[in-house]
Amino acid sequence: MLLPPDLRDWVAEDDLVHFVIAAVERLPLTQFAVNHKGSGDEQYPPHLLLALLIYCYANGLFSSRRIQRATYRDIAVRHLCADTHPDHDTICTFRRQNLAAIAAAFVDTLE
């Protein structure tokens, strides 16, 4: 029986993704809005989307479509997202609804 690979084994120990995941886990995320409308879109926890944005911004990825593509192609991003793939609309909506909170979290992460 073949098991899916553990993506942690493929990401270097000193990769920025580990720092971002740990930093976001320490942040209070109660102020983040997520899609609760029941529109049928898959729900992603705010810590996952926030960590995804912070990691991608730190690596020069700003377009929601490029970030979505990275969830398929970049091993560190796949690890960060637990091998799930938020679509560009989900990423963009989360960013739009939480712009001020994301900016504050980004600064808190760097401190």
SS (H, E, C) 41-93: CCCCCHHHHHHHHHHHHHCCCCCHHHHHHHHHHCHHHHHHCCCCCCCHHHHHH
Number of compact structural domains in the chain: 1
Per-residue pLDDT reduced to its tens digit, 21-46: 999 999 988 888 776 655 555 589 99
Q: Is residue 2 situated within a structural domain? A: no
The C-alpha torsion from 11 through 12 and 15 to 17, rounded to 10°, is 20
Q: Is residue 93 situated within a structural domain? A: yes
CB 54 within 8 A of CB 20: yes
Per-residue pLDDT reduced to its tens digit, 62-90: 999 999 999 999 999 999 999 999 999 99
Q: Is residue 35 situated within a structural domain? A: no
Q: Is residue 6 situated within a structural domain? A: no
Q: Is residue 101 situated within a structural domain? A: yes
Q: Is residue 63 situated within a structural domain? A: yes
What are the C-alpha distances in Å from 91 to residues 23, 34, 41?
20, 10, 12
In this structure, the number of other CB atoms found within 10 A of the CB of residue 37 comes to 7
Write down the pLDDT at residue 99. Answer: 94
Q: Which domain holds residue 21?
A: 17-27+44-110
In this structure, the number of other CB atoms found within 10 A of the CB of residue 95 comes to 16
Q: Is residue 38 situated within a structural domain? A: no
Q: Is residue 80 situated within a structural domain? A: yes
